Chain A
Amino acid sequence: MLKYAIKRILLMIPTLLAVAVLVFLVLRVVPGDIVELKLTAEGGEVSLEQIEAEKTRLGLNDPLHIQFIKYMSGLPRGDLGISLWTEEPVSEEIFARIGLSFELALLSTFLAVIIAFPLGTLSALFRGTFIDYVIRIITIGGIAVPSFWLGMLLIMLVLSFGKLPPLGTVSLFVDPLTNFNQMIWPAISVGYRYTSVVSRMLRSSILEVLSEDYIRTARAKGLYEKIVIVKHGMRNALLPTITVIGLEFAFLLGGLVVTESVFNLNGIGKLFVDSVVRNDLNLLQGLVLTVATSFVVINLIIDLFYAALDPRIRYQS
């Protein structure tokens, strides 16, 4: 198992390096100029000399290979450069927001798992019945409805009952109630889709597993149905479901672009939008690298889970 884990961790390095190189190169062909945007987008008299001087100061006039060397040499030290907009370290900009995105992802995952597991299981066990149809309508609805649109409906719902929670992130450890009030609505709006995806995956996995020969053998041996389902069915059906949960979690860390804007949450998704709008290349490549790292790390965790749940995987590797 240890050998397997080390091998997987080592494989992360070339993956992340490739992402870093690709992101650097792709972003350099994106049109736009942050300095010009910063100084002239709202009008005002700024000379081309001032713009050029500012670009030089920020290192944007350096040859591409110099910029690349600076960028790549900083990565091993965790130095992602400075945001060209705020001139603060990119890592600080990301760190200031990742906590909120992480909390939202965690809460959404929690909601999704506790709701999706019973729904998916019931839907599979009562396949073709009224219960299955109701659950399928609910879950297909969750996949069809965009999260941000549901978010807007939720805001309208909250407004019809009273006031919206205060703006500005309140820490869970300082004021848990306000924090819950701030996070629950976006978590529901994102969690609905998440629940639906996990539930649908679990249902089809269980159905597939239940038609396997070893389930028939277990039943033929006279095992209780409960044991057949939980011990032999669920355990095997969990493998693809865990993959979906992991990938959705990683997606939520950086992918809640619209939902965070709808709820005025200061997370990674909103930062993505800001960095694109401002053409803040350093911040953008830092964000892409962060999200890519979270995907790779979560994939690693999923692989380790797989190995733990299914010994065949670690023996094969």
Chain B
Amino acid sequence: MLNFKKSIVGVLTLAAFTFTGNAALAASCPKKGGIMKFGVKAEPPTYDMHGTNSYAVMHFVAQHYSTLLTFDWNKFPKLEGDVADTWNQSADGLKYTFKLKKGIKFHDGTALTSADVKATYDRLRNPPKGVISVRKALFSSISSIETPDDNTVVFNLSKPDAFMMDGFASPFNAIYSAKDIAKDPKWHLKNINGTGPYKFTSHSKGESWKAAKYDGFHHGDNCLDGTEGYRIKKLGEPLIGGQIMAEWRGTSPPERVMLKKEMGDDVSFQAKTLMTLWVVSLNSKTEAFKNKKVRQAINMCIDRHAGLKKLAKITFTAPRPSGYLLYNSTYALPDEELYKIPGFTKDIDASRKKAMAMLKEAGAEGLEFTYSNRAVSHPYDHIAIWLMSEWKKCGLKPKMITNPTSKFVKIRREGGFDATIDWAPSFLPDPTLMHFKYISADRTASNYSKNIDRDLDKLFDAQAGETDVEKRKSIVHQFEKKALENAWVLPVTYTDRVIALNSKVKGYVIANSHILNNTWRGVYLD
């Protein structure tokens, strides 16, 4: 068993840097009481946060749980402690030590200890039979977890992992009770017992999700008496008609105009770029696309600079081009470098002229190809129509095939397309999370181009193990340039997230993802 005091001394001596948790977060509730009603457009397929990517689970279930770390939403992505009080990382990046806050209790009254954190992360990285952990790969570098005492948990890594700290703050990695996991590893699929701000009260299938304030919440900033989430089809009428006060996913530009017109000062909006990147994946099995020049030409026909501004007026896409990483984020390619890459230059006439010459050279003039689209209006149809018209300007002949989600997903996996709309959702501007989709298909299931590129794999692994920010940035930029020039996956743009709230709802800070900040801490009604 690790001696904690010795460990701390050693860590302090060797540490390149030390994170300090904000343990004394002031509980801020300008007003208390009231029930906040919100709408969600989907039904949660499970209650298990570890086994899902569903935003519906986040919007309904996240409020019941805590995580090891969380974010300071006003200074995102700055980390702060959730159940962790303080933490530090060894200089070699192979050990993370967390001291937990004392006195935290689960909703059933049992105390939270390091054993619960260990059991949670063991379930995440090595799920028992019958349990799904969709983020298992992200924790593969954890070799062991130790619990020297009830308030200390130590993560030992087999190799340095630059993503790890952010992973501890992922809202999906809810801390479960070791007792519940021991009772039945699948217990959390249908039951809830967390340490979050609101206690689960009831779930009426397909209809509502109710929660009550947890008086023992360790941050004390759960200002509401409770929350009620409702399944809705559309946002407009329920918000105008007073049935709900918020919807957390986002509204489209036309809907915003309508809400403002109908509700006036009774509605407020918050906006931020959502870390979901829309991309077009080109199938590596399509003969024409095996020629890099053809792929680049297809990319170069898209007028991102003028077109995206127009597109942003009718659907919720960002009005500017981007590489794979969120523009202006720490590791993103600076604009001046991005705009030199074929397909991202500002002179669209020259770009298209060159693209047509490249197509001619490759014998792909007037190339016909299928574009698989998902039968959802925003933003799929809007993006599809725009791309079709852009490609036709180069004499290409794309054919759009639209299918409902279930069939679309199947076609995407089986490679039954030449080009397909696709998306790279993320909750952090972290390269490990956001570049994973573009590495070789035999290493990731979400590379729908199914291409293999060992050079990209090497760059990816190098950045993942590099904890120095500047060095990591340099490797990430190399990855971006290479992947963008290879043009197997063409970034379209990021998503503009604008949420509409009843003006009574105060204290909420919008995040760069609709799966973030869904515990309603600090939210109050005025």
Interface pair B54/A42, CB less than 8 Å apart: yes
**A20 interfacial by beta-carbon distance below 8 Å:** no
The answer to whether A38 and B445 touch across the interface, beta carbons within 8 angstroms, is no
Contact B405 A277 (CB under 8 A): yes
The interface bits of chain B over 165-206 (1 if a CB of A lies within 8 angstroms of the residue's CB, else 0) are: 000000000000000000000000110000000000000111
Q: How far is the CA of A47 from the CA of B441 in the complex (A)?
A: 11
Given A39-B53, A41-B409, A167-B238, CB of A264 within 8 Å of CB of B132? no
Bound-complex Cα distance A168 to B1 (A):
53
- State whether A167 and B230 are in contact (beta carbons under 8 Å apart), knowing that A32-B407, A36-B413, A85-B45 are contacts in the complex: yes
Q: Mark B200-244, 1 if CB is under 8 A from A, else 0.
A: 000011111000000000000000000010111100011011111
**In the complex the two chains form, is A43's CB within 8 Å of B53's CB?**
yes
* Residues B444 and A45 in contact, CB atoms below 8 Å apart: yes
Bound state CA distance, A167 and B407, in angstroms? Answer: 32
| Known pairs A45-B446, A270-B206; A164 contacts B405 (CB<8 A) | no
Q: Which residues of A contact B424 (CB under 8 A)?
A: 43
Interface residues of A in 254-296 (CB under 8 A from B): 261-262, 264, 266, 270-271, 274, 277-279
Say which residue of A40, A262, A278 sits within 8 Å of B53 (CB atoms): A40
| A88 at interface, CB cutoff 8 A | yes
**Which of A109-117, A155-163, A194-202 has 4 or more CB atoms under 8 Å from chain B?**
A155-163
Contact of A39 among B132, B244, B404 (CB under 8 A): B132
Would A264 and B232 be within 8 Å (CB), given that A167-B208, A277-B404, A277-B406 are in contact? yes
Task: Give a binary string over A151-184; 1 marks a CB under 8 Å from any B CB, 0 the rest.
Answer: 0000100110001111111000000000000000
- Pair B205/A39 contact, Cβ less than 8 Å: no
Give per-residue flags for B403-423: 1 if the beta carbon is below 8 A from chain A beta carbons, else 0: 011110110010000000001
CB closest residue in chain B, given A273: B233
Which chain B residues lie closer than 8 Å to A222 at the CB level? Answer: none
B310 interfacial by beta-carbon distance below 8 Å: no
Residues of B within 8 A of A165 (CB): 243
- Chain A residues near B386: list those with CB within 8 A: none
Select which of A50, A159, A167 is within 8 A of B232 by beta carbon.
A167
By the criterion CB–CB under 8 Å, are B409 and A261 in contact? no
In the complex, the chain B residue whose C-beta lies closest to that of A43 is: B425
Expressed in whole angstroms, the Cα–Cα distance for A39 and B52 within the complex equals: 6
Whether B320 sits at the interface, judged by CB under 8 Å, is: no
CB of A33 within 8 A of CB of B445, answer no
For residue B426, which residue of chain A has the nearest CB?
A43
Q: Is the CB of B37 within 8 A of A167?
A: yes
Residues in B neighbouring A212, C-beta threshold 8 A: none
**A39, A93, A167: which has the most chain B beta carbons within 10 Å?**
A167
Give Cα distance in the complex from A271 to B206, angstroms. Answer: 8
Tell me which of B52, B135, B233 contacts A262 (CB under 8 A). Answer: B233
Query: In the complex, what residue of chain A is closest to B190 when comparing beta carbons?
Result: A87
Q: How far is the CA of A31 from the CA of B414 in the complex (A)?
A: 12
Q: Roughly how many angstroms separate A268 CA and B48 CA in the complex, as a whole number?
A: 26
Which of B138, B243, B446 contacts A167, CB < 8 Å?
B243
Of the candidates A45, A48, A93, the one whose C-beta lies within 8 Å of that of B205 is: A93
Q: Which residues of A contact B54 (CB under 8 A)?
A: 38, 42
Give every chain B residue within 8 A of A39 (Cβ-Cβ): 52-53, 132, 134
Question: By the criterion CB–CB under 8 Å, are B204 and A168 in contact?
Answer: yes
B137 and A45 within 8 A (CB): yes
Question: Are A31 and B406 in touch, CB under 8 angstroms?
Answer: yes
Which parts of B454-469 form the interface with A (CB within 8 Å)?
Answer: none
Which residues of chain A come closer than 8 Å to B207, judged between CB atoms?
167-169, 266
Which A residues touch B409, using CB under 8 A?
32-33, 36-37, 40-41
A8 at the interface (CB under 8 A from B): no
Q: Mark B120-136, 1 if CB is under 8 A from A, else 0.
A: 00000000001010110
Q: What is the bound-complex CA distance between A43 and B228, given in angstroms?
A: 27
Question: What is the minimal beta-carbon distance from A87 to any residue of chain B, in angstroms?
Answer: 7
CA distance A33 to B407 in the complex (A): 8
**Are A264 and B233 within 8 A (Cβ)?**
yes
Distance to closest chain B CB from A220 (angstroms): 60
Contact A96:B230 (CB < 8 A) given known A48-B445, A279-B406: no
B43 within 8 A of A: yes
A40–B45 alpha-carbon span in the complex (Å): 12
Q: A37-B406, A39-B134, A45-B445 are in contact. Are A86 and B205 (CB under 8 A)?
A: yes
- Report chain B residues within 8 Å CB of A88: 205
Q: Kindly report which residue of chain A lies nearest to residue B51, judged by CB atoms.
A: A39
Q: Decide yes or no whether B436 CB sits under 8 A from chain A.
A: yes
Interface assignment of B55: CB less than 8 Å from any CB of chain A = yes
A44 touches B205 (CB 8 A): no
- By the criterion CB–CB under 8 Å, are B445 and A46 in contact? yes
- Asked whether any CB of chain B lies closer than 8 Å to the CB of A136, the reply is no
* B43 close to A274 (CB less than 8 A): yes
User: A32 contacts which of B189, B228, B233, B406 (Cβ < 8 Å)?
Assistant: B406
In the assembled complex, the CB of A9 is this many whole angstroms from the nearest CB of chain B, namely: 32
Considering only residues 40-99 of chain B, those with a C-beta below 8 Å from chain A are 43, 45-46, 52-55
Q: Decide: A264 and B238 in contact? CB cutoff 8 A.
A: yes
Q: Which residues of A contact B205 (CB under 8 A)?
A: 86, 88, 93, 96-97, 266
Q: Please measure, in the bound complex, the distance between the C-alpha atom of A50 and the C-alpha atom of B135, giving whole angstroms.
A: 11
Instruction: Determine the chain A residues whose CB is within 8 A of the CB of B230 once the complex forms.
Output: 167-168, 264
**What is the bound-complex CA distance between A97 and B204, given in angstroms?**
10
Docked complex: A68-126 residues within 8 A CB-CB of B: 85-88, 93, 96-97
Q: Are B206 and A266 closer than 8 Å at their CB atoms? A: yes
In the assembled complex, the CB of A141 is this many whole angstroms from the nearest CB of chain B, namely: 24
Q: Say whether A155 contacts B445, CB under 8 Å.
A: no
Chain B residue, CB-CB nearest to A50: B132
Complex interface: chain B residues within 8 A of A97 (CB)? 205-206
A-B contact pairs, 7 of them (CB 8 A): A37-B406, A38-B52, A47-B137, A85-B45, A87-B189, A97-B206, A164-B241
Which A residues form the contact surface with B (CB < 8 A)? 31-34, 36-48, 50, 54, 57, 85-88, 93, 96-97, 155, 158-159, 163-169, 261-262, 264, 266, 270-271, 274, 277-279
Not counting A42-B425, A168-B230, a sample of 20 additional A-B residue pairs whose C-beta atoms are within 8 angstroms of each other reads A32-B410, A33-B410, A37-B409, A38-B52, A39-B52, A41-B409, A43-B423, A45-B135, A45-B138, A46-B53, A50-B132, A50-B134, A85-B43, A97-B206, A164-B238, A164-B243, A167-B230, A168-B204, A168-B208, A264-B243
The 4 A-B pairs at the shortest CB distance, nearest first, are namely A32-B406, A164-B241, A44-B53, A43-B425
Residues of chain B whose beta carbon lies under 8 Å from any beta carbon of chain A: 37, 39, 43, 45-46, 52-55, 130, 132, 134-135, 137-138, 189-190, 204-208, 228, 230-233, 237-238, 240-244, 262, 276, 404-407, 409-410, 413, 423-425, 436, 444-446
